[in-house]
Amino acid sequence: MNFKRVYAIFLRQIYLVRGTATRFFQIFIWITVDITLWGFITKYLTGTAGAGFNFVPVFLGAVLLWDFSTNVMQGVTMLFFEDVWSRNFLNIFASPLKISEYVGGLILSGIVRSILALIVMFLLAMFFFGFSIFSFGISLAGFLLILFFFGIALGIIGVSIVLRLGPAAEWLIWPIPALLSPFVGVLYPLSVLPGWMQFIGQSLPPSYVFTGIREIVDGGTFPASTFFWGLVAALIYIVLAYMIFVKVYKKAVQTGLIARYSAETVT
Amino acid sequence: MTANKKPVLEVRGLSKTYGSTTAVDSISFEVRPNEIVGLLGPNGAGKTTTINMILGVLEPTEGSVTIETKDVLHERSEALERTNFAAVYSPLPGNLTVSQNLRVFGLLYDVPDLEQRIEQLFQEFELEQFKDTRCGVLSSGEQTRVSLAKATLNNPHLLLLDEPTASLDPSTAQIIRGKIRTYAAGGEGGVLWTSHNMYEVTDVCDRVLFLSHGKILLQGDPKTLPKEYGKKNLEELFITVAREPLLLESM
């Protein structure tokens, strides 16, 4: 792997974000809305429920972590969409860039974007609602790792869908986190879901994170086995996502889709 | 002189079929260092399909493409390190400035002493005044100069130019042709050039290949080829290739 090429893909995103205020603020707008909304909801619920239960870590903490994963995914997909929007496929894929280097660049973008988003979410939650994600202790690192890997996998799958189906498939990608959120139990335990939903939820790594959060809030210790299985599942997702992308890319080279991408000739 | 040098591009039995349609039909040719080869033919003849296969963005159904001993299908990245291209239908991202685009593509092609090379290209293609301008707001001629600067960033041994002067005024087109000629004469690079401007092809190319229905119908020196087929000039020969290819095949 040539790291200069990975950096080239990332550098392009830096130039774009630096050059347009829209792209920069887009990173923070939805997380600000989410943290504000759920901050006030949890404040209200904690006030009405009395001293028995603290909703803040369960709701606000979970929403914050889910938004982190969503941001990782968006960091990966946005960079790919920039190539779609600027019709840059031929320039990019007719260069010596390898698929692993391209995906590496997308991941690097996901890392930086999610770190920026995490810092802003942390500051908002801390200063406006008195909640620190560090209250999860050492578990936080494990939770973030699982959600980060899952966000990467989702991003790569999203990119594969758009590469396969064409630019118009972009609208399919944005709602993916919202569609998955009921299954992973961001705000409730999986046990409240019907059997088939629980089954899907258990196959999704973030559900281990949110189960872990509830274990800690209930006074438990670091849920090592939950973390372990969540991490294993997230890594499997990344490997599968990468395999899907490579397969879709190879198919696109066979059919000529890469060369004529904007024509949406292959369905 | 170029005939003694090892080819920078070897295309052998290259075909591409889409279902029952054959876009390129078992073509073979070479491009040698310092040589400018024109790939000519009417719309739909298979020129861009051929270029896409050489660039590794389209997998051939049969045949091979070798760029300086590297097989494009199996050693794509290594083969493309010594290649570059400019095509009228593939401008650089309009939302990046000239210098940003050159920096990004310079990194992708792993160009040594990149900043120095970019400065050199600013001078060579007279882009100094546009270096902080977004490519999307440049005129067609200026964008073509940027595309050519990108295409020569890595001093490619194989330069592919798909209608590089289309939409340029005659004066700008002449300047661009001059730069490409200088490029081919100066280093180790060979150029594969497609154009519909037969005057330009006669002026620039050392050799031309006429494609028709995916096959190479004729090839030779653009200055002597028309006479060999009883035509006044290359344009007349082109029209015959486009309208009456069977007549030429029988000759």
Which tens digits make up the pLDDT trace of A224-251? 888 888 899 999 999 999 999 999 999 9
Q: Can you spell out the DSSP letters for A234-258?
A: HHHHHHHHHHHHHHHHHHHHHHTTT
Which of A12, A91, A256 comes nearest B90 by C-beta?
A91
In this predicted structure, what is the pLDDT of residue B248? 62
Residues from chain B contacting residue A97 (CB–CB below 8 Å)? 77, 108
A126 CB-near residues (< 8 Å, 6+ apart): A132
**Closest-CA distance of chain A to residue B109, Å:** 6
What amino acid is encoded at A227 in this protein? F
Does B102 lie at the interface with A, CB-CB under 8 angstroms? Answer: no
In residues, how long is chain A?
Answer: 267
Return the DSSP state at A57: I
Select from A12, A17, A24 the residue whose CB has the most chain B CBs within 10 Å, as the one to mutate to test that interface.
Answer: A12
User: From CA A190, how far away is CA A230, in angstroms rounded?
Assistant: 14
Residue A262 pLDDT exceeds 70:
no
A14-71 pLDDT, tens digit each: 999 998 888 888 889 989 999 999 999 988 888 887 666 778 878 888 899 999 999 9
CB A180 within 8 A of CB A70: no
Cβ contact, residue pair B108, A97, below 8 Å:
yes
The domain spans of chain A are: 3-263
* Closest Cβ–Cβ partner in B48, B57, B94 for A93: B57
pLDDT digits (tens, 9 = 90+) for B196-242: 888 889 989 999 999 988 999 999 999 998 898 888 888 888 888 78
pLDDT in tens, B88-109: 888 899 999 999 999 999 999 9
Q: How confident is the model at residue B44, as a pLDDT? A: 86
Residue of A8, A20, A93 with shortest CB distance to B107: A8
CB contact under 8 A, B57 and A92: no
Q: Which of residues 14-43 of B touch A (CB under 8 A)?
A: 18
Interface of A to B at Cβ within 8 Å reads 2, 4-5, 7-8, 11-12, 15-16, 19-20, 82, 86-98, 250, 253-254, 256, 258-259
What pLDDT sits at residue A176? 93
Binning pLDDT at 50, 70 and 90, where does residue A253 land? very high
Checking if the pLDDT of A267 tops 50, the result is: no
Cβ-Cβ contacts under 8 Å, B100 against chain A: 12, 15
Distance CA B32, CA B3 (A): 7
Instruction: Give the domains, in start order, of chain B with CATH numbers.
Output: 2-82+158-250 (3.40.50.300), 93-155 (no CATH)
pLDDT at B173: 84
Q: Which residues of chain B have pLDDT under 70?
A: 1-4, 245-251
pLDDT given at position A265: 53
Looking at residue B172, its pLDDT comes to: 81
Burial label, B140 (beta-carbon count in 10 A; 0-12, 13-18, 19+):
middle
User: How close does chain B come to A13, measured CA to CA in Å?
Assistant: 10
CB count in 10 Å sphere of residue B114: 18
Residue of A nearest to B79 (CA): A96
Judge whether B105 is closer than 8 Å to chain A, CB to CB.
yes
Compute the average pLDDT of residues A95-102. 94
Contact A94 B18 (CB under 8 A): no
Cα–Cα distance list, A111 to A3, A66, A154, B188, B233 (Å): 16, 15, 14, 41, 60
Whether the CB of B132 is below 8 Å from some CB of chain A: the reply is no
With vertex at residue A19, the alpha carbon angle to CA B128 and CA A97, rounded to the nearest 5 degrees, is 75
Residue of B nearest to A82 (CA): B93
Tell me if B200 sits within 8 A of B231, measured CB to CB.
Answer: no
Please name the helix (run of DSSP H) or strand (run of DSSP E) that holds residue A111, with its range, or none: helix A99-129
Which two three-digit tokens encode residue B94? Answer: 């309009």
